[in-house]
Amino acid sequence: MNRQASLKTPISSKNEVKQKSALWKEIFRNRFLYLLLLPVAAYLVLFKYAPMVGEIIAFKNYRLSEGIWGSPWVGFEQFEKLFSSKEFYLVLKNTLLLNLYHLVFAFPVPIILAVLLNEVRVEWYKRTLQNLLYIPHFISWIVLGSIIIALLSPSTGFVNYVLQAFGLEPIYFLADKFWWPVTFIGSGIWKEAGFGTILYLAAMASVDPTLYEAAKIDGANKLRQIWHVTLPGIRSTIAILLILQVGRMMDVGFEQVYALRNPAVTSVAEVISTFVYTRGIVNLQYSYTTALGLFQSLIALILIVSVNRIIKALGERGLW
Amino acid sequence: MNMKPTSKGRFLFVFMLAAAMMLSACTGGGNEADGSKGSSSEKGNASGNKKVSISMFDRGQVSSDEGTYEENRWVKWIREQSGIDVKMVPVPRNEAQSTLNVMIASNQAPDLIWEFDRTYIGRLVSQGVVQPIDEYIEQYSTSYKKYLEENPELKAHLTFDDGKMYAVATKRPITAVANHGMWIRQDWLDEIGMEKPKTLDELIQVAQAFKEHYPDSTPIVGPTTADIYAGLNAAMSTQWYLEDGQMKYGATLDRFRDAIALEKQLFDLGLVDKEYFTDSNNQRANQLWTTDKAGIWMFQWGSGQVDLMMKDLLTNVPDAEPVPLESVETVNGKHGLYQEAIPHIYVAFNKDMKDPETAVKYLDWIVDQGWFTLMNGEEGVHYTKSGDTVKRMDTDKYNKEVLYANEYAVLKQMEVKPEDLIEQAADDELSQRLATLSAEALETALKNEFRRDIPYQPNFDEINEIRSTLDTFIRETRATTVTQGEKYTADWAIEEIRKEWTRLGGPEAEKIAQQWYEDNKANF
């Protein structure tokens, strides 16, 4: 388009040409950097953007034999089916609730942990502690699932043994609709909180030490120093992680739910990812579940954009 | 202080490097062997490189020194003997269907796809990913064609809704027809002075007596309890039944309510493990049975896992006397526990298959001669032959070296009588004892007929779609009814299930099923 225009009216678009050649110059000057960028760009196009074309099956009735292109178009039929089904609202509610609990209870934990670790002055102790905190992150949910089931068993589990020692009734944590989400969030914290401290600790390391000295001279005690120096120092990191977290509001990791769920708690444990698995992959309703996936991505996009706006309005740097 | 970790690290690095080199040397060696094997099989058939790939269930039974499911002595043997360069494509047993679905969707599925589940093959037929095979069998097959002529009753099972044949299968031996089974501890019965229960009420009384006499025990455990409650009441939730000539879905029947009521009653009486809902891998159930903590075991009649568990039990508790328990009479009459329909493994043909002729030839070879060795191993090494009976030489050796090869024998002409189990078993005392029990259990399991009103289930999209929601709902409703106390009764549960059934379009599905029945009943 541009080139055509410039051919027709060379004089009026002189400016444009100049700008363009400046851009090419710029690219040429940094050609090696752009070359380095190429594989990553290719990766993104190939594995992130190209598969998006497949989303069109949400508007089709996909059959394996006819493929993505051959299957017949059905317009919004899959979405109508989705929005008129009872299960959709159930999995949506569960997904949002579990994420809300996560945001309220699990999100602040790594911040608190990082602040505490930051105050530890004995270096070897701090290192050991940090490493111990990272380890759970590397255990797979499938393994951890069996450990949790055994640990929380009402008859043989250690937790209930302790409860009984205090004269309390044993609780069947994983089959109770109140305790299941608690267990879910709790186990999530146990596994991921330690690893989540990494970013915050890195941010704290970059806080200027002279600020602490100044605070000390002004007579600030430890708590005051944390409040007025450490926390403001990691504010932008918190903001960015918060945006990312809200972007994941529509998404609950499949493995954790899959490892911990059971028929007794389906009404609180069935989330979008497990629903898509049973309906789409096991029962071959690809179009229906793709429609759900598309809806999920759309909401996530809206959420992440609005939170980014809000954060920016509050004076922090957003994601973009 | 600082040196140590580095030197340790260096050592670790060198060690890992060495390990990696050794590994690659090993695989290299393996490849060479493959190469020579490949060329030998090429020499074997002048017509060139005949290739076929086939799926299989990965049950994690191949020990590392045997190789992998893809490459081992038996795969090598198959290639040499059949002259076909076969490629095994393992899928994890517990995720078989979902894994195959993903492979199919990404065009990576093998030429031959098999399942025990006819419904699954039916789904592939309606998705159009497998092809009709009547012509291939007609044109290329000799052995299987003959087998099918000799066993015409198979034909209806292999034919799908458009009247074409989509799969091959052979008949199950009775060891594979019988499936679920119950076991009871005779020594416990003797201890409390009671007889083997014959009715459901007696069964409950015995369980209660067990509980009183052995307060630490869980009287009834097992992986198949829910299916057994349903089987006893002739109301499997996913099966169609003929009620006065009308097709009705199992989960909506009054009899299914009775099955839920039984589950709840046993739970409320404390006769089952209160935690079975979270025991998804049956670890607790198995542990309770093998450590002398359970009196009645609801599982399968025998073989495979049952043998292993029994062996554990008899090793842990040498005085234990587990015996098979016949199915008991309920208010709905006396019905057998779950049994399979006659076809064994359904092998279907991928529509993108390149060389159907080779595939048919491969299957012909298996059904003709391959299966026998794959089931029994090598003569003189794994079994001895006297007359027609095959006798296993060493159970442990067989389990390690041959058991996994059974997976490759997708078609087999095997006939087993209960007494064969004893004759086939190795001579040591434990093997003989287990085999005697198995033979008895097999007879017990087959004594009562499992209620199956139609030979196979109708397959249509409406019911598949309903099931994808309803199955989850049934499980949840059952769990709620059983665990959530008096408010929730079996009557409540069946009402909920019927409501859900109607909401999902059940009545419409019933009409379709009825039509299907009227159209097909002449073939049954």
Q: List the one residue out of B60, B127, B57 whose CA is nearest residue B91.
A: B57
Report pLDDT for B452.
92
Of all residues in chain A, the one with the smallest CA distance to B130 is A65
A307 inside domain: yes
Question: Concatenated DSSP letters for A166-228?
Answer: TTPPP--GGG-TTHHHHHHHHHHHHHHHHHHHHHHHHHHHTS-HHHHHHHHHTT--HHHHIII
pLDDT, tens digit (0-9, with 9 covering 90-100), for B56-69:
999 888 999 999 99
Q: DSSP alpha helices (H): ranges in A84-178?
A: 86-101, 108-119, 123-134, 141-151, 158-165
A30 inside domain: yes
At residue A17 the predicted structure's pLDDT band, cuts being 50, 70 and 90, is: low
Report pLDDT for B386.
79
Report the pLDDT averaged over residues A281-292. Answer: 90
Between CA A50 and CA A58 the distance in angstroms is 16
Which of the 8 DSSP states describes residue A168? P
Helix (H, G, I), strand (E, B) or coil at B112: strand
Q: How far is CA B108 from CA A47, B100, B249, B352, B436, in A?
A: 18, 9, 36, 10, 45
Candidate from A65, A174, A277 with C-beta closest to B127:
A65
CA distance B348 to chain A (A): 15
At residue B523 the predicted structure's pLDDT band, cuts being 50, 70 and 90, is: confident
Question: Concatenated DSSP letters for B66-81?
Answer: GB-SSSBHHHHHHHHH
**Which residue did the predictor score with more confidence, B522 or A225?**
A225
Q: Are residues A55 and A132 in the same domain?
A: no
Torsions phi, psi of B295, nearest 5? -100, -30
Report pLDDT for B126.
87
Report the pLDDT averaged over residues B320-346. Answer: 95
Check CB contact under 8 Å for B97 and A278: no
Report pLDDT for A86.
87
B238 neighbors B471 (Cβ within 8 angstroms): yes
Give me B223's structure tokens: 């992986």
pLDDT, tens digit (0-9, with 9 covering 90-100), for A84-104:
988 899 999 999 999 999 999
Q: Are residues A85 and A41 in the same domain?
A: no
Q: Are residues A86 and A219 in the same domain?
A: yes
Residue with tokens 């073939």: B523
Question: Concatenated DSSP letters for A26-62?
Answer: HHHHTHHHHHHHHHHHHHHIIIIIGGGGGGGGGGB--
CATH number, domain containing residue A306: 1.10.3720.10
Q: Are residues A178 and A301 in the same domain?
A: yes
Task: Examine the pLDDT at B142 and tell me if it is beyond 70.
Answer: yes
Which of the 8 DSSP states describes residue B142? S
Q: Are residues A98 and A246 in the same domain?
A: yes
Q: Looking at beta carbons, which residues of chain A come within 8 Å of B97?
A: 282
Q: Are residues A167 and A306 in the same domain?
A: yes
A150 inside domain: yes
Q: Is A159 on the interface with B (CB under 8 A)?
A: no
**Other C-beta atoms within 10 Å of B373: how many?**
20
Q: List the one residue out of B220, B129, B204 whose CA is nearest residue B166.
A: B129
Q: Are residues A107 and A53 in the same domain?
A: no
At residue A15 the predicted structure's pLDDT band, cuts being 50, 70 and 90, is: low
Helix (H, G, I), strand (E, B) or coil at A106: helix
pLDDT, tens digit (0-9, with 9 covering 90-100), for B466-520:
988 899 999 999 999 999 888 999 999 999 999 999 999 999 999 999 999 998 8
B51 neighbors B85 (Cβ within 8 angstroms): yes
Candidate from B127, B278, B483 with C-beta closest to A284:
B127
Q: Are residues A6 and A40 in the same domain?
A: yes
Candidate from B98, B101, B476 with C-beta closest to A263:
B476
**Ranges A42-46, B31-35, B406-410: which has the least confidence:** B31-35
The residues that bridge with B299 in the sheet, in sequence order, are: B181
Check CB contact under 8 Å for B127 and A154: no
Q: Is A175 on the interface with B (CB under 8 A)?
A: yes
The structural domain count of chain A equals 2
Secondary element (H or E) of residue A291: helix A286-313
Check CB contact under 8 Å for A87 and B465: no
Q: Which domain holds residue A18?
A: 1-59
Between CA B33 and CA A151 the distance in angstroms is 48
Task: Examine the pLDDT at B34 and tell me if it is beyond 50.
Answer: no
At residue B416 the predicted structure's pLDDT band, cuts being 50, 70 and 90, is: confident
Between CA A17 and CA A13 the distance in angstroms is 6
Quick check: ipTM above 0.95? no
A96 inside domain: yes
Between CA B195 and CA A84 the distance in angstroms is 56
Residue among A284, A287, A288, A292 with most chain B CBs within 10 A, to mutate: A284
Q: How far apart are the first and last CA of chain B?
A: 81
Report the pLDDT averaged over residues B167-187. Answer: 94
A259 inside domain: yes
Q: Are residues A152 and A300 in the same domain?
A: yes
Report pLDDT for B520.
85
Task: Examine the pLDDT at B431 and tell me if it is beyond 80.
Answer: yes
At residue A4 the predicted structure's pLDDT band, cuts being 50, 70 and 90, is: very low
CA A74, distance to chain mean position in Å, is 32
What residues have CB less than 8 Å from B58, skipping those under 6 apart?
Answer: B69, B90, B91, B92, B93
Check CB contact under 8 Å for B127 and A64: yes
**Ranges A138-152, A157-171, B289-303, B389-403: which has the least confidence:** B389-403
Residue with tokens 């932008």: A236
Task: Examine the pLDDT at A24 and tell me if it is beyond 80.
Answer: yes
Q: Is A131 on the interface with B (CB under 8 A)?
A: no
Q: Is A172 on the interface with B (CB under 8 A)?
A: yes
A233 inside domain: yes
Q: Are residues A8 and A138 in the same domain?
A: no
Strand B51-58 with B322-325, pairing: unpaired
Q: Are residues A16 and A153 in the same domain?
A: no
pLDDT, tens digit (0-9, with 9 covering 90-100), for B194-246:
999 999 999 999 999 999 999 999 999 999 999 999 999 999 999 999 999 99
A200 inside domain: yes
Between CA A238 and CA A317 the distance in angstroms is 11
Report the pLDDT averaged over residues B298-308. Answer: 86
A319 inside domain: no
Q: Is A270 on the interface with B (CB under 8 A)?
A: yes
Q: Are residues A41 and A101 in the same domain?
A: no
